[in-house]
Amino acid sequence: MSRIGLIAGNGRFPFLVLDAAAALGHEVVVLAVKEEADADLEEAARAHGAHLHRVSLGHLGKALAILKDAEVKQAVMAGQVKHTKIFANIVPDLTLLSVLMRLKAKNTDALIAAVASVMRDRGIELLDSTIFLQPLLAREGQLGSRAPSAEEAADFDFGYGVADRIAGADIGQTIVVKDQAVVAVEAMEGTDETIARAGRLAGRGTRVVKVAKPHQDMRFDVPVVGVATIETMARAGATALSLDAGRTLLLDGEAFVSAADAAGITVVGRARGARSGA
């Protein structure tokens, strides 16, 4: 098996990739983003005999040098790096600075695509971030025990077109709706804060629509949900969740669906081509 680089942000996503890649016999070299990656990732890497290096956000040159020295030719990005940190808190090294100076648009997609291009120029291919986790992608149809009510289905139908346009503009991947009105739109604050804000604004009975971008690059910024998403929805009084089938990662697998059932939250997966307004 080959040697795989894992560029790790926060959350459980990097742990799942590490476990799956190691289980397939790959040797994993972990680059943990110092400002984001979980401290426990080092122990997990050690358990799999993987090498872990902590690299500060913005130190692209150092990251590439580590991967090249380890003779890594393929890498996976997994885990969130908060959008606000990408543009507010990093001190770029010369390699990243040269990338930033060439960008026409300073949104997240443009930045990471440019980084991927630099990696390719150095002989490192950035892979689909779900390549080792295909069984955890949301399937199409009803995922839990409760089907959407007529009101929830109407909110989903209303929300799909709006969510796809927002995602297509690289603003965010989540909107929250109620009674066919948009309550909250995700930007840099992230999904959980968007859901919580919608609960404060509109009270109980909101519905969450989370989509991939129309031309989602599966190498980075793939939509992710987990038990924490359901817990946030329950606290905010949200009753239903629509996911992009085949392009949204369920971090906690069956536990995610069980948590939704326990909270009385309906979850459905809908493929882009099957959605109204797609």
Cβ proximity of 220 and 127 under 8 Å: no
71-75, 77-81, 85-89, 133-137: least confidently modelled range: 85-89
Query: Has this prediction a pTM greater than 0.85?
Result: yes
The tens digit of pLDDT for each residue in 177-191 reads 999 999 999 988 889
Burial group, residue 273, by CB count within 10 angstroms (0-12, 13-18, 19+):
exposed
* Integer angstrom CA distances of residue 220 from 116, 129, 230: 10, 6, 23
Q: What percent of the chain has pLDDT over 70?
A: 95
Give the model's pLDDT for residue 1. 62
Give the model's pLDDT for residue 99. 85
d(CA 196, CA 176): 10
